[in-house]
Structure formats: C-alpha cells, structure tokens
C-alpha cells in the first residue's frame, strides 16, 4: 500500500476550484514532485494534506488512515511534516529553539514535572536538545545554533526550516518550493541533502518546485497540475514530452531551463 493516497481531492473557494478531483499516490521511500504554473493549486494541496484547509470533497489516506477533518498538530504527530513556501520561522528565537519546536509532539512534560523539575523532565529537556542538535548537524548549520533565526542569511533560514521539520521525526516530508531564492551552489547541495534525508533517515519526500531542472534531477516521478486538475504524471522525460504540459507552461519551461 502507498504511504499517501489522495482520491478525488477537491477544494473550492466560492466559485474558484483550486483543486479539482485530484488523485495521486506516493510510495514509501520515493521522491515525488508536484509541478504546475503559478496559481495551479499546488500549495492548496499541501494545505489540505496538513489540515490547514478543509477539502470540499475527496479522501486523503496517510498510512491507511484518513486525514480529513484532522487538525494540523495531529497530522504532524501522525508523521507528516511540512515546510512553508514563504519562510515561517519563529523569527526572534534562536536557531536551536526553532528546531526544538519539532520535538514538542514527541514529548510530554507538563506543569507539575516542570515546576518540580523532576529527573524525567530534565532528561526529556536534554533529549529534546540533543535531537535538535542532531537535526541541525544533519542539515549542516549546527555551528549557528545560538543565532537568532531572523539574523541568518536566507539560505540558512531555509535549512532551519528543514531541520525543524526533521525534528518532528516524520515519515513523509512535504517541501513547498525548497529551492526558491537559492543560488546554483545551494541548489546542488539541496539535491544532495534531499537524497541524504531519503536514504539515511528513510523519509519519503513530496515536493513542489518551480525549478524544472532541479525537479528533473531529483524525482523519479512527477505530477503536473494546472487549474487544480492533474494533466500529466510520469518520469521527467515523459512529462517533458507531454504536449499538455508544454501547453500549460506555454514555453515557460525552456525559459527557466536556460536561466
């Protein structure tokens, strides 16, 4: 059975159909991409999956369990983590504190253990810190753990968001345009990092990306949507040769490739 199954997912905002009867499956251990022109409804799909938007219709199954009507924090607890298209860090907190947030749903110290600072609570705090540091080390910015998040350069802020998502110990990682705003160098390191996450941490990756070059390099299978409707799916080659896709992008694809 696939890790994630989406069946006839539909999301309407009044008259606008942002996602229209979308069906797709993500197999465990794979890297899959969702592409499409601006406003195609890609982010809306992620928002439905993670419980931020309530789908108008359809079913979403994660490890066989329905995600419909579940709150975002429950979905994270079930093992799905996400990053945001526009960075959503806890800006005035330290990098380490940012990443420690991911461990919240895997720990449980409450008022009394905290007020009396029991042995269990202190050990849990230490554990949270260790996991956060390990995640920072994994993405390669452990040396910046005491910096305030908003003071980091953009590329590093992205890495904080990744580390934070990894700290929730996900099975499936949803990345919304992870390469946006990165330079060529950073992009190639990003590809390595994604492979490392998949291979070493056994996390399945589902990403939205505009950079076609990157998408073609990283994912074995690509889904293309336009106006909320799935218009193609297949390998990079198949998608590239699909006339519908070419039409949807209106030559935009070549433009981005040369850039």
Partner 1 sequence: MAETKNKHKIKNPFEGIIEKLFMIFENKIYLYGFFAALVVFLVIFPNTSSRFTQEIMTNLFFYVVVCLGLNIIVGYAGLLHLGYAAFFAVGAYTTGILSSRMGMDFWLTIPFSIVAAVIAGLAIGFPTLRLRGDYLAIVTLGFGEITRLTIRNLDVTGGAIGLIGIQRPEFFGITLNQISHFYYMFFILAILAIIVSYRLENSRMGRAWEYIREDEDAAAAMGINVTTSRLYAFIIGSAFGAVAGSFFAAKMTAISPDSFMFIHSVMFLMAVVLGGMGKIPGVVLGSVLVVLIPEVARGIGPYRLLIFGFLLLIIMLYRPQGIWPEKPTISTDE
Contact of residue 107 among Mg ion, ligand ATP, partner 1, none (CB under 5-8 Å per partner type) = partner 1
Going by DSSP bridges, is the β-strand pair 65-66/229-234 parallel, antiparallel, or unpaired?
unpaired
- Write down the least CB distance from residue 44 to Mg ion, Å: 8
Going by DSSP bridges, is the β-strand pair 65-66/57-62 parallel, antiparallel, or unpaired?
antiparallel
Whole-angstrom Cα distance, residue 221 to residue 242?
14
Place of tokens 């996400």: 82
The residues with which 7 forms a beta bridge, in sequence order, are: 59
Rounding to the nearest 10 degrees, give the CA dihedral for residues 153, 215, 84, 149. -20
* 147 binds partner 1 per the rule CB under 8 A: yes
Whole-angstrom Cα distance, residue 223 to residue 47?
17
The mark string for 163-192 relative to partner 1 (x by CB under 8 A, - otherwise) is: -x---x------------------------
- The number of residues that bind Mg ion (CB under 5 A) is 2
- Write down the least CB distance from residue 226 to partner 1, Å: 27
What is the token pair recorded at 161?
A: 């968001």
Question: Which residue number is nearest to ligand ATP in terms of Cβ?
Answer: 43
* 41 binds ligand ATP per the rule CB under 6 A: yes
Residue pair 60/68 in contact by the 8 Å Cβ criterion:
yes
Which helix (H) or strand (E) segment is 59 a member of? strand 57-62
Indicate the residue among 18 and 75 with the shorter CB distance to ligand ATP: 18
Chosen residue from 9, 36, 219, 223 binding ligand ATP by CB under 6 A: 36
Indicate the residue among 104 and 187 with the shorter CB distance to ligand ATP: 187
Whole-angstrom Cα distance, residue 150 to residue 98?
11
The mark string for 82-121 relative to ligand ATP (x by CB under 6 A, - otherwise) is: ---x------------------------------------
Which helix (H) or strand (E) segment is 44 a member of? helix 42-49
- Write down the least CB distance from residue 77 to partner 1, Å: 5
What is the token pair recorded at 231?
A: 């218009």
Indicate the residue among 48 and 197 with the shorter CB distance to ligand ATP: 48
Which helix (H) or strand (E) segment is 224 a member of? strand 221-226
* 40 binds ligand ATP per the rule CB under 6 A: yes
- The number of residues that bind partner 1 (CB under 8 A) is 43
* 230 binds ligand ATP per the rule CB under 6 A: no
What is the token pair recorded at 84?
A: 């945001």
Whole-angstrom Cα distance, residue 73 to residue 142?
26
Please, which of residues 177-236 interact with Mg ion by CB under 5 A?
Answer: none
* 231 binds ligand ATP per the rule CB under 6 A: no
- The number of residues that bind ligand ATP (CB under 6 A) is 12
Half-sphere exposure for 106 (CA within 13 Å, toward CB): 23
Question: Which stretches of the chain bind partner 1, using CB under 8 A?
Answer: 50, 52, 71-73, 76-77, 81-82, 84, 88-93, 97, 100-102, 104-107, 109-111, 114-115, 117, 121, 124-125, 128, 146-148, 150-153, 164, 168
Question: Which stretches of the chain bind ligand ATP, using CB under 6 A?
Answer: 13, 16, 18, 36, 38-44, 85
């Amino acid at each position: 059975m696939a890790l994630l199954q989406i069946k006839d997912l539909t999301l309407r905002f009044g008259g606008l159909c942002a996602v229209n009867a979308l069906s797709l499956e993500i197999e465990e251990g794979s890297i899959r991409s969702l592409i499409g022109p601006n406003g195609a409804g890609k982010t809306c799909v992620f928002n439905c999956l993670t419980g931020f938007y309530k789908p108008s219709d359809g079913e979403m199954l994660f490890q066989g369990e329905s995600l419909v009507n579940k709150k975002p924090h429950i979905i994270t607890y079930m093992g799905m983590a996400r990053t945001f298209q526009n960075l959503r860090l806890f800006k005035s907190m330290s990098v380490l504190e940012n990443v420690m947030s991911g461990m919240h749903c895997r720990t449980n110290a409450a008022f009394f253990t905290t007020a009396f600072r029991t042995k269990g609570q202190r050990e849990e705090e230490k554990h949270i810190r260790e996991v956060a540091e390990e995640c920072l080390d994994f993405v390669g910015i452990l040396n910046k753990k005491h910096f305030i998040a908003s003071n980091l350069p953009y590329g590093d802020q992205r890495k904080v968001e990744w580390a934070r998502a990894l700290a929730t110990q996900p099975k499936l990682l949803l990345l919304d345009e992870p390469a946006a705003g990165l330079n060529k160098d950073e992009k190639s390191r990003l590809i390595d990092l994604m492979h490392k996450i998949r291979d070493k941490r056994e996390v399945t990756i589902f990403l939205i990306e505009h950079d076609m070059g990157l998408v073609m390099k990283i994912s074995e299978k690509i889904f293309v949507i336009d106006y909320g409707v799935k218009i193609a799916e297949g390998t990079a080659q198949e998608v590239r040769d699909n006339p519908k896709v070419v039409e949807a992008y209106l030559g935009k694809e070549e433009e981005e490739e040369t850039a």
